[in-house]
Amino acid sequence: MLTDIAPPPALPGWLPDAVRLYLDHTEVGLSLRALARREGCAASTVLRQVRRYENRRDDPLMDEALTHLGRLHAACRRPPQAKEPPEMSAPLRRARPPVDDATIAREGRRILRRLAEPGALLAVAPEMEKAAVLRQTPDGRTTRTAVVDRAVAQAFALKDWIECRTPGRVGIYGLTAAGRAALKRMLDAEARPGPAEAPAAFSDQHRDWGERTVEAEDGPRRLRCNLAESPVMALSRRRDSSGAPFLSADLVAAAERLREDFEVAQLGPRVAQNWDRFLTAGDRGSFTGAGGAAGPRAARDRVAAALRDLGPGLGDMALRCCCFLEGLEVAERRMGWSARSGKIVLRIALMRLKRHYEETGGLAAPLIG
């Protein structure tokens, strides 16, 4: 009798929308065009999302999670008077309810923090009910730093927080960029007690706070800055094949010098009454068109001279990445270049820019940080 069978648990709320589209198409049988009309997007967009998860069925955790969620989803969408297939009744009775949001948040802070450590990986085997976080120590030994339920590890795979690096008898998983961003949001929520705006948490995941030395009138000062604000700063943290930084400190300083002049050049002259000396004696309320524009005009001339020295191509790349703060992928696409060629062109441009500043005596510590 159907009355003796408990209703199947509903799909969890943390499940990504792309996974729901995949289940609606594969388990319920909705067409791609029907899903596109329901979501208000193009059918090609739904097709890409469906294919993305279909291509990841080779991942053991992903395949197990999609199989289990597919059975639950089909059972939830089945009419009440319909009987469930005999081969699905026993698995659904034995199946545990999906992981809830609180468990995802709690285990995410604990496990993702361990996976973010250097040399840390997640290992899971078919017969294991739990997954283990392993880390290789400097002396070559491998230690277990954390253990997590298999269902939670499957949820991490569905949310793209982990990806399969080495499939096989023992699957090896590593932390993804989405996982690092999620960890940043979780740690920021811990450090910021009380209610916080949702956009603040998502914007903080793109920030990388650090300190820089800036020359001021009273001497050098240490200021807190966002190291990920400039694409040049993000590229400077990458390493080449020899392990050295892809961009040296002097090349980064040249890029920041160009950015400083570009920012100062945006400060145009006043076009209305100057109220700075309104209550001072002499020259009260006077307006001088040259005083306020002297700094921006000189900075504009320095930027123009640097770009002329770089020439076409190199100057465009330096202007987009150093001044407009465009990413390498965006600059490559707008310049019509092949992928992964922008970083080489940018390094050549910064080498030429460094030589220009050394010849003109304009390379100094940047004021913007």
Which tokens belong to 29?
A: 């049988």
Average pLDDT, integer, range 249-257: 88
DSSP H/E element including 71: helix 60-77
**CB 181 within 8 Å of CB 228:** no
Bridge partners, residue 166, by sequence: 172
Residues 102-146 pLDDT 10s: 899 899 999 999 999 888 999 999 888 899 999 987 777 889 999
Which tokens belong to 146?
A: 């954390």
Q: Residue 234's pLDDT band (boundaries 50, 70, 90)?
A: confident
Which tokens belong to 251?
A: 């090349």
Map out the domains of the chain as residue ranges: 2-94, 101-182, 209-360
**CB 244 within 8 Å of CB 226:** no
Bridge partners, residue 222, by sequence: 213
Residues 31-41 pLDDT 10s: 999 998 998 88
Average pLDDT, integer, range 181-190: 82
CA Rg, the chain, in Å? 28
pLDDT at 80 over 50: no
Q: What is the per-residue pLDDT for 153? A: 93
Contacts for 114 with CB less than 8 Å, ≥ 6 apart: 120, 133, 135, 145, 146
In the chain, helix, strand, coil percent, each to 5?
A: 50, 15, 35
pLDDT at 251 over 80: yes
Q: What is the per-residue pLDDT for 348? A: 93
Residues 3-62 pLDDT 10s: 444 444 567 788 888 888 898 888 888 899 999 899 888 888 889 989 989 988 888 899
**Distance, CA of 10 to CA of 100 (rounded, Å):** 11
**219 φ/ψ sector (left φ>0, alpha ψ -120 to 50, else beta):** left
Q: What is the per-residue pLDDT for 152? A: 93
pLDDT at 157 over 60: yes
Q: What is the per-residue pLDDT for 236? A: 78
Q: What is the per-residue pLDDT for 276? A: 47
Residues 211-229 pLDDT 10s: 656 555 566 666 666 555 6
pLDDT at 359 over 50: yes
Select from 218, 253, 212, 213 the least CA-distant residue to 232.
253
**Distance, CA of 92 to CA of 78 (rounded, Å):** 14
Alpha helix stretches (DSSP H) within the chain: 17-23, 32-39, 43-54, 60-77, 86-94, 101-115, 150-158, 177-191, 198-204, 231-236, 249-265, 294-310, 314-318, 328-335, 342-360
- In this structure, which long-range contacts are made by residues 193-202, counting pairs with CB atoms below 8 Å and at least 24 apart in sequence? none
Average pLDDT, integer, range 334-353: 88
Q: Residue 204's pLDDT band (boundaries 50, 70, 90)?
A: low
Contacts for 217 with CB less than 8 Å, ≥ 6 apart: none
pLDDT at 93 over 80: no
Q: What is the per-residue pLDDT for 150? A: 92
CA–CA distances in Å: residue 46 to residues 23, 37, 71, 96: 12, 10, 21, 30
Which tokens belong to 148?
A: 């997590």
Torsional sign, CA 42, 43, 44, 48: positive
Q: What is the per-residue pLDDT for 223? A: 61
**40 φ/ψ sector (left φ>0, alpha ψ -120 to 50, else beta):** left
Alpha helix stretches (DSSP H) within 176-273: 177-191, 198-204, 231-236, 249-265
Q: What is the mean pLDDT of the chain?
A: 77
Residues 309-340 pLDDT 10s: 999 889 999 998 888 888 888 888 888 888 88
Q: Provide the strand spans (E) within 117-241.
A: 120-124, 130-136, 142-149, 162-166, 171-175, 209-216, 219-226
Residues 166-184 pLDDT 10s: 888 889 999 998 898 888 8
State what percent of residues in the chain have pLDDT above 70: 70
Select from 69, 253, 235, 260 the least CA-distant residue to 154.
69
N-term to C-term CA, the chain = 70
Q: What is the per-residue pLDDT for 339? A: 80
